């Protein structure tokens, strides 16, 4: 049996609101081929976007996708889903199915204000 560790953290882009972005669970141990659900919610006025990132040890952050309001936009070729709602007080969930060895990483969610500019 192969286990991997997934550690999560949350932050807000552009401001010092990190204490108002919450990600659960804070850490997790799962087996290969299992499914993981990571939830993120924030209490920041006018933030309607959640960004998801992954960082494998000693590597750069990898952008996984985003949720804008209630529509998920995973990166092309991503093996995960983004569901829920990115608005204040709502929950956005990153679901990773069929975990692999390279799924072992630190996962980050970030609250952001979407801009069409």
pLDDT digits (tens, 9 = 90+) for 79-92: 899 999 999 999 99
pLDDT above 70 for 116 = no
Alpha carbon 41 to its chain's center: 10
DSSP secondary structure letters along 37-95: EEEEEE--TT--EEEEEEE-TTS--EEEEEEETTEEEEPTT-SEEEEE--STT-EEEEE
Reading the block at residue 65, the tokens are 């996708």
CATH number of the domain to which 82 belongs: 2.60.40.10
pLDDT digits (tens, 9 = 90+) for 41-97: 999 888 899 999 999 889 999 999 999 999 999 999 888 999 999 999 999 999 999
- Asked if the structure places residue 50 within a domain, the reply is yes
Neighbours of 94 (CB within 10 A): 27
pTM: 0.82
pLDDT of residue 3: 46
- Asked if the structure places residue 117 within a domain, the reply is no
Look over the chain and give the mean of its residue pLDDT values, rounded to a whole number. Answer: 83
Reading the block at residue 20, the tokens are 């108002």
Query: How many domains, in total, are found in the chain?
Result: 1
pLDDT above 90 for 35 = yes
- Asked if the structure places residue 60 within a domain, the reply is yes
Which residue range(s) make up the domain with 29?
Answer: 3-112
């Amino acid at each position: 049996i192969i286990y991997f560790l997934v550690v999560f953290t949350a932050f807000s882009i552009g401001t010092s609101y990190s204490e108002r972005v919450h990600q659960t669970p804070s850490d997790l141990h799962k087996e290969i081929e299992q499914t993981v659900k990571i939830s993120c919610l924030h209490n920041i006025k006018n933030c309607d976007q959640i960004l998801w990132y992954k960082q494998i040890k000693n590597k750069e952050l990898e952008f996984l996708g985003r949720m804008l309001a209630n529509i998920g936009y995973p990166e092309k070729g991503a093996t995960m889903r983004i569901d829920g709602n990115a608005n204040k007080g709502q929950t956005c969930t990153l679901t990773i199915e069929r975990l692999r060895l390279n799924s072992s990483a630190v996962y980050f969610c970030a609250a952001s204000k979407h801009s069409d500019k």
